[in-house]
Amino acid sequence: MSRIGFIGLGIMGSPMASHLARAGHEVIGHTLDPKAYARLEADGGRSADSVEAAVKDAEIVITMLPNHPQVEQVVLGPDGVFAHAPKGALLIDFSTIRPESSIALAEAGAAAGYRVLDAPVSGGQGGAEEGVLSIMVGGTEADFETATTIFEVVGKTYIHVGPHGAGQVVKAANQLVVGGTYALVAEAIVLMEALGVDAGKGLDVLAGGLAGSTILERKRKSMVAREFTPGFRIDLHHKDMGIITDAARQADLSLPTAALTTSLIAAGRAQGLGSLDHSALLKVIEKLNGLDEK
Ligand code: NAD
């Protein structure tokens, strides 16, 4: 069992920290919204009013933050993790950020005496609540082995995919597939409904065939019911499509479906849907077809 400083108790971080506390780890959490502390404390963890207080005795530091500016502030800032955690501590960054930011973080960590893994996750809020996330890990094999005691509590599939940044590259690929799938499911719903077919029944059949996916399993009912409480916000997926676009440019690749999906998600944001779940791509497709006033 480890002493863990856990920074970022949002939609994903809160259930992950609770799982770790319930598994017997000593978890001290810090986040911007203090409402998140009640759950952690009920599950046996403690709260801290600063990064310093959360990490000063930690063997393992976990970050689950929105994007690279927050990660950089929390880890590299003057009041941050590398200023206050004991030397030799292992930082596991579960956030989805740019691969180059993860590489820079690992280099800064090595210079300051810390070990770093990029370990973005997939599985959404449901996967976090159930402790069955998929985790794609970049860094050294030795640090990956150390972190398996954490991964086995919050995840079901965890794979060391390569050196620093490789976890984020795999996560970019994941977000490409997820975004594109949502766009296609949205179009399928609009198509079936326009032709007078019950989309709920239609998607039940799709879920059992070759078109089946975790998205259809977990989200088809809420999509047909037009329930878009996040979950994973369109704003965050917009961030991830930016990471994909940059990565494709760096590699001199043309990824046309990625470009289209990026544009649809940007349209959702422009339509004021940024704080809704990314399954609200359905609303974007409806608007494209003049169906949004129905
Ligand atoms: P969220 O906005 O719900 O949570 C982020 C948390 O970070 C908030 O609790 C906020 O208070 C905290 N925070 C922000 N800045 C901070 C700071 N300076 N100091 C301390 N705490 C700070 O976001 P989320 O949905 O939990 O996503 C977190 C990360 O996980 C993102 O990178 C996202 O892309 C990724 N992700 C999310 C999902 C999902 O379904 N929500 C799935 C997979 C990956």
For the chain, the structural domain boundaries read 3-163, 169-288
Substitution site in 32, 52, 63, 65 for ligand 1 pocket (most atoms within 8 Å of beta carbon): 65
Question: Which CATH number is 169-288 given?
Answer: 1.10.1040.10
Q: Measured between alpha carbons, how far is 285 from 268 in angstroms, rounded to an integer?
A: 9
> What pTM value is reported for the model?
0.95
How many Cβ atoms from other residues are within 10 Å of residue 90's Cβ? Answer: 23
Substitution site in 73, 236, 244, 276 for ligand 1 pocket (most atoms within 8 Å of beta carbon): 236
User: So what's the pLDDT on residue 294?
Assistant: 54
Name the class of domain 3-163.
Answer: alpha beta
User: So what's the pLDDT on residue 292?
Assistant: 81
* Contact call for residues 5 and 75 (beta carbons, < 8 A): no
User: So what's the pLDDT on residue 293?
Assistant: 63
> Is 171 marked active-site?
yes
User: So what's the pLDDT on residue 117?
Assistant: 98
Look at ligand 1, atom 12, and give the residue with the nearest C-alpha: 8
Q: Measured between alpha carbons, how far is 50 from 129 in angstroms, rounded to an integer?
A: 25
Instruction: List the beta strands (DSSP E) in 125-193.
Output: 133-138, 155-162
Task: Pick out the chain residues at pLDDT < 50.
Answer: none
List ligand 1's pocket residues with C-beta within 6 A: 7-13, 30-33, 36, 64-66, 70, 73-74, 95-96, 121-122, 124-125, 231-232, 236
User: So what's the pLDDT on residue 247?
Assistant: 95
User: So what's the pLDDT on residue 228?
Assistant: 98
